[in-house]
Amino acid sequence: MSDTAAIPLPEQLTLSGAAQTLERLREALLRQAGPTVVLNAEPLRVFDTSAVAVLLELRNALLTQGKTLQVSRMPQRLQALVTLYGVAELLPA
Quick: pLDDT tens for 11-46: 999 999 999 999 999 999 888 889 999 999 999 999
| Predicted local confidence at residue 4, as pLDDT | 55
DSSP string of 4-32? GGSEEPPSEE-GGGHHHHHHHHHHHHHT-
The yes-or-no verdict on residue 3 having pLDDT over 70 is: no
The yes-or-no verdict on residue 2 having pLDDT over 50 is: no
| Predicted local confidence at residue 47, as pLDDT | 97
The yes-or-no verdict on residue 93 having pLDDT over 90 is: no
| Predicted local confidence at residue 51, as pLDDT | 97
